[in-house]
Structures are given as structure tokens and as C-alpha cells.
Structure 1
Amino acid sequence: MQPDDADAARSLVDMCPSLYLAAQRGRTEEVMALLLQRHGAATADCQASGIIMHGQCSILEVTTERNTVLHVAAEQGHGELLRELYLRFRFTEQGLLSRRNSALDTPLHCAARAGSDKAVEVLVKLAQDCSESFLGCKNEAGDTALHLAARHGRATAVEVLVSAASEPAAELNNAGVSPLYLAVMSGSVQAVRAITRACKAASASSLGPSSQNALHAAVFQSSEMVGLLLEWRPALADQVDSSSSSPLHFASSDGDCKIVEAILRLAPPKAVYRKDSGGLSALHIAARMGHHRVVDGLLGSCPDAAELRDDGGRTFLHAAARAKRSSVVSRAVKSPTLRRLLDAPDKDGNTPLHLAVAAGAPGVVEALLRKGKVRPDALNNDGHTALDLAAGSNSFFTMVKLVVTLVAFGAQLRPQRQDHLKKWSGRDIVHEIEKTSDSLAVVAVLIAASAFAAGFNVPGGYSDAGEANLAGKFAFKSFLFLDTVAVATSVVAVTLLVYGKVSRSAGSWKSFAAALLCMWVSLISLMLAFCTALDAVVTQRPVYQSGLVAIYLCIYLLYFCITWRIKPANTWLTVWRFLWLRSRSEGRHVIVMRRQYPLVDASVLYFCLFTAISLLAFFIFLFIFGKVVLHLL
């Protein structure tokens, strides 16, 4: 604190409550009466409120945070009160408008922060009429009044301030942030327009944190704001932040095509080729985020940008494959101009296919092999093919999809001694089976018990002769058959689960998979048996049958959704190709594949059986309730 400030601090007087309340409420006459009254005088309002006056109020009185009566009035937007106070005391009290509180705010700071347009206009007009220069004053945080108005999106206040003095637009606060950057962050297009119109491109700063400029922030706001900034200063598009990322990098990561188009339309052409500190261009970023329309826009603007590589020698296709962005890869493989990039290796010799397999992206793998027709047996610098890299997958379903897709399109393992092959062991199969078998065995026993009990409590009951009352009905006969199947398959499932748990070998997964298949058959049979039992005894058939069919169709819809998620390849055509290739005795690479991935072959067959059984059950259901289904359709 300077000596003058210390003297001023010692002379400060606490503001009397009546003066504070009157200033806060904007009562100009009451404030003036309090400041001009004689010793011991009090207004009627103060007496009525029970506030005791202690002598004459002074214009120098402050609150606990050292706010003067002008600060209080400015914060509440009372412009007329500010004008009256200044005109009455300007000759007796110098520097009245530039007084600071404990945060070093002037009354103009308070008015700008509160967005009090009238108060800001009055203070700016008074500043122009007097010799005080406080428009560029900074508070404790280094903010000018323009910083505060811009931060809170006070467009009118910003316009008044920059029209009166454009110099504060070039100032940075203690965080190194300009008013223009704060205006962008507030989302106020009007505030940004006011600064860009009032200030020349060279006279205002656009800096923000981490060496960003206002355009870096604007790409997350609106295309209109981006257009304003680029028309004001086109060079913003080529400036980079502390990570060497340009605004186009930011826009490409967000994926808004309109904003990217606005930058491409007004920015220098070299902005597309700009790389960040990791060597990534905007095209790499858009591909990695899966914004295929942005990729199309960037390539349409600069077709040769497709050749850009990062520090690892990877193109945008490598980035898309590594990030599992099948939409970008699917569009790229259709372009004849990009075909040369499909098999392009990076510095490690990895093609996009290698990276897609390593990332566990079956959709990208299929797009590259089916539509791109890439070489499935390309070797990287470590001598590995894409099929070799599938061994790195920890997920069973992902591994199966990768291997099935690769083998279906002719992928091979690298040449090596077969006794050195390591079987896939993404997870401890024995441990997983043991952990799951106990729960499944309980479920299988419950299914068997339910089906067994249903066999002795047949629908319709028994006659006095001990015969079933509904024995002649087709629905009853169907119930008996389906219930018998449910009991038999659930018992077999329990047997297989117990055997698999006792054997404790890597081959126990086969009995485990067979048990799952039997449990699925028993569940479907039990459901169908329940439907046929109800159909045999319910009298209100149309209403009941329609509801039953609707519920059952919803269950099958859920089943098909699950099947779609766990199928061994992205398309059924790929599954058929794999099965056809598997059946060929001359497919030597299939035999080698079975040695390293022994679970794949059988899992595909089990899945096909699972699907066939489900379809058979669906057709049985249609056979039983065919007329109702046709009626609903």
C-alpha cells in the first residue's frame, strides 16, 4: 500500500445504515438529504425504520469491503443517483469516480459486472466530461470494466465502453485473457460484434488462456461468431495455442460442419495443413472423432491433405481405424483417390487393417476387407499379420469377430513353427467357467423343477377316472411335448455343467457351451408350453391370444437384438464365407487358425445352432398362433 493509500485507509468512516439502504434502493432525494443534513438531523424514513442516526453522513463513508455510496448505487444500476452525487460533490471531493474498494473495483467495475447499462452510460459520460481517466483502470484480478462486461455478456455495456475508449480492448487481465475472448466465452454475439466493430484488428487483443485466441473458443459457440472474428482478423485461423492446435483443430474435433466450412471459407489455405505438437492435422482429428462430414469437407477443400502424416507416419485412415470409426473408413474406401492409402504402412509398418485389429474394431476390419479389398496378409515391421494381432484382444466376442472376419477374407498367420504357436488366452477360461457354472446350474435345476411340476398339474385338471380333461385338444398335446423337452434339456444342462466343473480343463468350455445351448432350448420350450397351456384353458380367446402374441413377439424382438450384438461377424454374409472356407479341405490357413484360435471354430457352430433352435421355436409359435399373428398384422 502506498503512503497516500495508507492515509486514506486511516481516514475511512463506516457507512451509516440509512445511507447504505437509501443508495441501494436508488432514493436520490433521501441520499442527498442524508449527505447534506446538519448534525443530528434524520429523515422520516430512517426514524420510521428504527435506524438511529449518529451525526452527519459523509460521501467518504464506506462499507466493510470499502464500497463507497457510488459503488453501491452503480451495482444496483441507479444512474440518476450517480449523476447527482458526482455533480454535487465533484468540486469538494476529487477522484470520486475512480475510488477503489477492497478488490480495487471502481464504481464502473461494479456497474459493468451487474450489467447496469444505464449506470455504465452515466459513468462513461461523466468520465468524458471530467478530467478523471478511469475507463482503463484494473482491479485486483487485472480486469478492466470492459473485461467484466464482456465476461458476463453485457452487450450494451460492452458497446458503450468500447465506443468511449477502445484501448481497454487491448488489455489482458492477470490470467492473460482479453475482453474479446471473454465475450466469446459468454456466448454473446452482440458483445463480440461490438468489440470487433469498434476496434481495428491491430488495436484489440484476442488472447485467451494457454495461448488460445478468441477463435479457438468461438468454434464451440456459433458459426455467426466464427464469421465475425474471421472477417475482423482472418489470421486468427492460422494461430495456434500452447499445444500447436489451431482453431480448425478445435472445430474438427467438435464436428460442426457449418463452423468448419466458415473457417475454410475465410481462413488462409495453409490452415488445413497445420499440425499440432503431435503431428496431427485437422483431418486426423476429424477422422479420430468419427466426423465423416467434416472429413469430406476438409478433403473437398484440400484433396492433397489426405497425404498428411503424423509423427508416427500415420494418415487420417490410420487415425480412424485406431479409433474404431467405421463411418469414416466406410466412406474412404469408396473413394478411388484414397485407394492408395488403404494399404499404406506407418513407421512401424502397420496398415490401417493392423491398427483396426489391434484396437478391436471388427466393423472397421470388415469395411477395409469387403469394400476396400486391402491385403489381409500384409506384415508389419515385427513380422506380424493382422490375424496375429487378433491374439491381443481380451474380449472373447471381439476376438471371435476379428478372427472370423479376417479368415473369411483370406487372412493368414505369419509363417512360424507350429509347435511355437500360442493358443489365445485372453482370459482364464477355466476360471470364468467355474465362476459362472454354479449360478447356471441353479437356474437349470429351477427350470427342471418347474417343468417337472407342470407335468403333474396339467391344464384343465383330471377327470374322476384319472384322465386329463383336455387330452383331446391339440394345445394340450403340444403342452405335454414341450414340457417334456424342457425337463429333458434342463437335466442335460445340469449334467454338462457338473461335468465341466469337475473336469477343470481348458476343454471344459465345450461342455459349458453345450449346457448353455440346452438351457436355451429348455427356456424356449417352457415358454411355449406355458403359452399352449393357457391357450387350452382360456375361454376369451381373441383378447387373450392377441395380448399373448404381442408379448411373445416383443420377447423375440429382444432376442434378435441380442443375437445381432453377439453374432460372430458384423454381417451374416461374412459368417457364411467363413463356414464355406472352413468346409474346404484345401484351406490350410484355416487349419493353422484353429491351432491358435481353437475356440473360434466351435463358437461359430454353436452360435449357428443357437440361431437355428430359436428360429425353429419361432416357427413353432407361428404354427400354434398363426391365425392370431395374421390378424394382428
Structure 2
Amino acid sequence: MSKDLLNTGSSMDLDLLRALTCGDGDRIMKLAREKPILFSGRSLQGNTALHIASRSSVNKNTTVVQEILNKLPSLLYERNDRGETALHIAAAAGHVNVVKLFGQKIKSTDNETGQKNIMMRMQDNEDNTALHIAVRYGHFKVVQELTAVDPEPILSVNRAGQSPLSIAIDEKLTDIACWIMRKNSDSLNYEGSNQLTLLHSAVIRQNFDVIVEILDAKMEIVSKVDGHQRNALHYAAASGHVKIAERLSKVLLAHKRDSDGQTPLHLATKNGRLGVMKMFVKDYPDVIELLDSKKRNILHLAAERGHDSTVSFILNLPEKDNFINAPDEDGNTPLHLAAMYFRCNVIKNLSRDRKLNIRATNHNLQTAIAIAQTSRMKATENKKYLTLKALEAIYKNRDLDPEDIIANWALDERIRVTDEGEIERAKKLAEVLLTLTTLVAAFTFTAALTIPADYKYKGPKHSEFFKFDNRNYKGTGFMIFIVSIASSSASCLSAAATICWLFFRASNNHEYFIKTLPSAVLLTFCGLVSMALAFVSGLYLVLSNNQTIPTQLVWSVSVATLLYYVFIPTYIWFLRRVMDARVF
């Protein structure tokens, strides 16, 4: 774009734009004296010279900004394409000296026009005032300066429904939040989406200092509830912050219910917040036996969510006899819910209590094991299998036959087809593993035989084995290669032998087949990792003999290959385990 084109219409002069962007104060001052008309132009984003000067490095000295204001004071109220004034820009950049200069100019302008703080209350296209912007970027000194000039924008709400104080609390800007509250306590009247108060927000962010400040400034806010009829103590209990829950419980009743009929203790139990639960049980024992709107007690909720430690805590309470076999509105006991969501550890924990009624049926005449067989809740096949085994173990320990307790309709052909499908999938996996282990064993065997017959191992002496100098690298690499080859071959052959034995002797023993197959999977994984190590060490030995390739490149290729073959499969396995855990 040429200079002439930039000078046409309202485009900003190229020399001025370059000087403003680079912070060339001397050049800017010279242009201001010689060609003040240039300062009326705009950049492609609609920024005036005052916008650009307000955010550039020349703000270390406000002389340039002052000179621009002297030449064209009307620029103070001009907006760019985003609706921002120069004050918005200075607030975002955190230039407190520029903000002070604007404040002084605004006061003098207001005295002349008879209007008050118009610029301080001007909003951009998103309805943000300069105070919103300063808070969002965490510029405390700018916030202090803006509120000193005009505290009214403290109550302003932008298009996203945020006030400056709500932004400070959301961003955990404790100093700014406390300053705004002390400046104008009416800022605490703000309510966000779903009728969340600022006390709710502070509890969700677990900002104890702000919570104390709110309670000191406006205690009556503590009784307000959101759209779910939850007060701040409900959120403190759900988040598990014991210190906050203790502070709020001093001014809030612990037996208050939300729209689901749940007390703070119920929410703490659902989320496995054992520390908060212990606090409630100790200080407010009268809330322990309260039921929610589905007539579920705290053991129901803990069993459904699979919080094993929470279940153990409840089973040690004196009131546990009233919980363990209690039905909810659908007739489900805690054991039913644990079976429905495949919480095998919870089932084992419940089974330790001899008062557990394993024959209990719900309103659909289903026992716990019948629910486990028909439940459509998402879970891994391993979790489903372990849950059924845990339930069957309960019956076996009590000398009962599971077949006599399962409801007849739960033993229909549909369930048997499901079981057969799981067995077929296990056998197909075994076939794939058998093929894979055979191939890996063959490759490693071939690699061992292809070592040159005249190869002489010149490894270091035992005392020098771990001295990593250039002459030891080849010997150490060859040792790793041999050990990895042997380990890979042994692991894969063991896995193949295990699978063959399963097909030969245990193909009809489905329970033993599924239970033993993971050991073959583990052996296969070990074999693959060992093969990867052998590949990397062999790659290093081959490349290190080439004098034209730098040693650093050899190491880089070897390490990169090791990460690819070892780290990535391990990471994927770990990620799958994490995703499986999230189901529960």
C-alpha cells in the first residue's frame, strides 16, 4: 500500500503509523508540530493516533499522548471498529499514567460541558467499560485509578452478563475483588446465570479470602439460592473445601435442601468429599438420616457413584443399619445401585456386612445380580465381569446358589446370547494375540541368527561398564540388543504357549479363559516393548559405524525411535485406562 493511498480519505499517514507503532516519540512530536492534520487519520482497524499511542511503548512518557490531546482533544471520545475508546486501550495495556492523564482531561472536559464522566462509562461493542477491561487483564493500579475517578461503572454489566466484580472473582483476582467490594458494596447485588450470586461464584472458585470479605460486607447474601435452590454451602460441600464449608456452616443451616431434596451432606457424598462428610457428621449429626426426593440416603449416593472410601466411612457409622438395606422410591437398595453401575469394589465392601440382604428385590422384582446382568449403563467388559464375580462371591460365601436368587426372567436367552458374545470376543482376541506373538518370536529369532559369525564383542570391563565414553557405547548397545532380543522372544513364546494351553484345556471353562487371558496380553506387551528396545539398540549399532553420520544425529534417531515404540503405546494404554475410569 503506497503512502499516497494511505493519506487519502481517513487513512493514517504511513510515517505517523510507523512512528506510533515503533514508539518513536521524537518523530511523533515533530509530526505533531509540523503536520497536526495527520493525527485525524485512522488505521485499517479504525484506531486513531491516540488509540495507538495509548498502547505503545511511548507510554513510558505521557508527553506524546498529552501532545495528541492538545492538538485534537476530540480523539478522547473516538471509537475504533471494536467500539473501544483510547481509555479502553490504555486500560487493557495497564498504562496507569495514561489512564491518570485521561482522568484529568475528562474532569476538565466535564467541567466545560456540564456532563459527568461520559468517557468513563462508554462501552465497546461487547458493552465493556474501561473498568471491565482493566479487571479482565488484572491491572490493579488501573482499577484503582478508574474507580477513584468514577465508581459508577462498578455496577455496569456487559453483554456476557458480567460485572467487573464477577470477572475479578471468576479470574481469582483477590486484591481487585476486595477493592471493588470495599469501594461499592452494592456490587454484591449482582446475580449471574442461573441466579448464581457472587458468593456462589467465590465458593466454586474456592477463594476463601473473597468469601470472608463478602460475608463481612453483606451477610444477607448468604441466604440466597440459585435456580436449583442451592445455597453457597451446597457448593462448598460439593467442592470438598473443608475450611470454606466450616465457615459457611456457621451461618447456614446444614439441613437446607435443593430442588432435588438434597442437603449439602448429600452433595458431599455424591462427589466423594470425605473430609466435608466427616465435618457434617461431627457437627450436624441430625442431617445424616435425611433422604433426598428419590428417598435415597447417603449410602445410596455413595454406592451409585462408586466412592469406595466414602462407603467404608458410612458403614462404620452407628446409623449404617438404617442405610444398608433401605429401598429408594424404586425399591433399589445400595447393593442394587452398585450392581446397576458396575461398582465392583463397592459390592465387595458392602458384602463384608453380614446384615446385607442379598435377596432383596426392587419394585420390578429384580435382585442385584439380575440388575447387573441386564443393566445398560456404560462400562468396560472387565468391569461387568468383575461385578458379576463379586456378586456371585457373596452368594458363595453364604452357601447360596446364585441361580436360585436370580429372577427367572433375567435368565432368558437374551442374557445367554450376551455372555456367549463376550466369550467369542475373548477368543478372537486370543487368536489375534497368538498370531502376533508368533510373528514377533519369529522376527526376534531371525534377528539373533543374523549376527555376523565373525562379530567380536569388545565390551568394557565390568568395572568400566557404566562409564559412558565413546569406546563403551558399542559394547553397551550390543548388550542391550542381546538382552532385548532374548526377552522379547521369551515373552512372546510364553504368551503363545499360554494361549495354546487355554484353547487346548480351558476352551469350555469360560470363566478361567477370560480370567487368564490378560496374562497373555501382558506378556505380549512386554515382548513388543523388548522388541522395540532391540530395534533401537540395533539401529544405534548400525548407524554408529558410519563415520559420516554425526554422533548427535545417531542419538537423536535412536531416542526418537525409542519414544515412538515405547512411550506412545504406553501413553495410549494409560489414556484408555483413564477414559475407562471416567465412565465410573
Please, what TM-score do these two structures have when normalized by structure 2?
0.65
8 Å contact kept, 2:54–2:65 = no
Q: CA shift at 1:18, angstroms?
A: 3.0
Please list the CA deviations of residues 408-446 of structure 1 after superposition, one character each: whole Å capped at 9, or x if unmatched.
257786978997671764532552354245357669999
8 Å contact kept, 1:74–1:119 = yes
Report the AA paired with residue 207 of structure 1: E
8 Å contact kept, 1:273–1:281 = yes
Alignment of structure 1 residues 321-400 onto 2, 5 Å: 321-371=303-353, 373-392=355-374, 395-400=384-389
Q: CA shift at 1:141, angstroms?
A: 0.3
Task: Quote the residue 1:16 is aligned against.
Answer: 13
Q: CA shift at 1:57, angstroms?
A: 3.5
Q: Distance in 2 between matches of 1:188 and 1:517?
A: 50
Task: Quote the residue 1:207 is aligned against.
Answer: 191
Identity %: 26
Please list the CA deviations of residues 524-558 of structure 1 after superposition, one character each: whole Å capped at 9, or x if unmatched.
xxxxxxxxxxxxxxxxxxxxxxxxxxxxxxxxxxx
Q: CA shift at 1:246, angstroms?
A: 4.1
Task: Quote the residue 2:474 is aligned against.
Answer: none
Task: Quote the residue 1:427 is aligned against.
Answer: 419
Q: CA shift at 1:84, angstroms?
A: 2.1
Please list the CA deviations of residues 131-180 of structure 1 after superposition, one character each: whole Å capped at 9, or x if unmatched.
05211111110001111111122222122222322211111101111111
Report the AA paired with residue 12 of structure 2: M
Is 1:318 the counterpart of 2:300 in the alignment?
yes
Larger radius of gyration: 1
Alpha carbons of 1:241 and 1:150: their partners in 2 closer, same or farther (altered >3 Å)? farther
Q: Distance in 1 between matches of 2:70 and 2:347?
A: 81
Match of 1:57 among 31, 37, 47: 37
Please list the CA deviations of residues 191-232 of structure 1 after superposition, one character each: whole Å capped at 9, or x if unmatched.
1111111112x2555433444333333332532233233333
Match of 1:106 among 70, 75, 85: 85
Alignment of structure 1 residues 195-344 onto 2, 5 Å: 195-200=180-185, 202-203=186-187, 205-218=189-202, 219-265=204-250, 268-270=251-253, 273-276=256-259, 278-344=260-326
Q: CA shift at 1:322, angstroms?
A: 0.2
Task: Quote the residue 1:33 is aligned against.
Answer: 30
Task: Quote the residue 2:503 is aligned against.
Answer: 497
Alignment of structure 1 residues 523-602 onto 2, 5 Å: none
8 Å contact kept, 2:41–2:49 = yes
Is 1:130 the counterpart of 2:109 in the alignment?
yes
Query: Aligned Cα RMSD in Å?
Result: 4.1
Alpha carbons of 1:249 and 1:124: their partners in 2 closer, same or farther (altered >3 Å)? farther
Please list the CA deviations of residues 496-519 of structure 1 after superposition, one character each: whole Å capped at 9, or x if unmatched.
625776xxxxx4537857997999
Structure 2 regions of 5+ residues with no counterpart? 1-7, 111-116, 376-380, 443-492, 525-584
Report the AA paired with residue 380 of structure 1: N
Task: Quote the residue 2:54 is aligned against.
Answer: 74
Match of 1:438 among 425, 431, 440: 431
Q: CA shift at 1:347, angstroms?
A: 0.5
Alpha carbons of 1:185 and 1:414: their partners in 2 closer, same or farther (altered >3 Å)? same
8 Å contact kept, 2:65–2:98 = no
Please, what TM-score do these two structures have when normalized by structure 1?
0.61
Report the AA paired with residue 403 of structure 1: E
8 Å contact kept, 1:290–1:320 = yes
8 Å contact kept, 2:238–2:271 = yes
Q: Distance in 2 between matches of 1:514 and 1:83?
A: 77
Q: Distance in 2 between matches of 1:32 and 1:182?
A: 38
Q: Distance in 2 between matches of 1:255 and 1:239?
A: 20
Task: Quote the residue 2:94 is aligned against.
Answer: 115
Alignment of structure 1 residues 175-214 onto 2, 5 Å: 175-200=160-185, 202-203=186-187, 205-214=189-198
Alpha carbons of 1:140 and 1:496: their partners in 2 closer, same or farther (altered >3 Å)? closer
8 Å contact kept, 1:264–1:301 = no
8 Å contact kept, 1:112–1:149 = yes
Q: CA shift at 1:252, angstroms?
A: 3.2
Q: CA shift at 1:361, angstroms?
A: 1.7
Please list the CA deviations of residues 583-632 of structure 1 after superposition, one character each: whole Å capped at 9, or x if unmatched.
xxxxxxxxxxxxxxxxxxxxxxxxxxxxxxxxxxxxxxxxxxxxxxxxxx
Please list the CA deviations of residues 258-309 of structure 1 after superposition, one character each: whole Å capped at 9, or x if unmatched.
33334334xx414762414x44443333212211112223344433333443
Task: Quote the residue 1:509 is aligned against.
Answer: 510
Report the AA paired with residue 98 of structure 2: A
8 Å contact kept, 1:354–1:385 = yes
Q: CA shift at 1:63, angstroms?
A: 1.8
Q: Which segment drifts farther, 416-425 or 298-307?
A: 416-425
Q: Distance in 1 between matches of 2:68 and 2:496?
A: 93
8 Å contact kept, 2:366–2:406 = no
Match of 2:119, SS state, is: coil
8 Å contact kept, 1:356–1:362 = yes
Match of 1:62, SS state, is: coil
Q: Distance in 2 between matches of 1:64 and 1:341?
A: 70
Task: Quote the residue 1:627 is aligned against.
Answer: none
Task: Quote the residue 2:137 is aligned against.
Answer: 152
Match of 1:402 among 365, 382, 391: 391
Q: Distance in 2 between matches of 1:262 and 1:368?
A: 34
Q: Distance in 1 between matches of 2:173 and 2:119?
A: 25
Match of 2:154 among 169, 192, 196: 169
Match of 2:411, SS state, is: coil
Alpha carbons of 1:165 and 1:408: their partners in 2 closer, same or farther (altered >3 Å)? farther
Alpha carbons of 1:301 and 1:274: their partners in 2 closer, same or farther (altered >3 Å)? farther
Between the two proteins, the alignment pairs up a number of residues equal to: 446
Q: Distance in 2 between matches of 1:311 and 1:295?
A: 20
Q: Distance in 1 between matches of 2:506 and 2:424?
A: 11
Alpha carbons of 1:517 and 1:122: their partners in 2 closer, same or farther (altered >3 Å)? closer
Alpha carbons of 1:19 and 1:301: their partners in 2 closer, same or farther (altered >3 Å)? farther
Q: CA shift at 1:490, angstroms?
A: 9.4
Q: Whose relative contact order is higher, 1 or 2, with alpha carbons under 8 Å and at least 6 apart?
A: 1
Task: Quote the residue 2:66 is aligned against.
Answer: 84
Match of 2:313, SS state, is: helix
Alpha carbons of 1:385 and 1:407: their partners in 2 closer, same or farther (altered >3 Å)? farther
Task: Quote the residue 1:536 is aligned against.
Answer: none
8 Å contact kept, 1:314–1:345 = yes
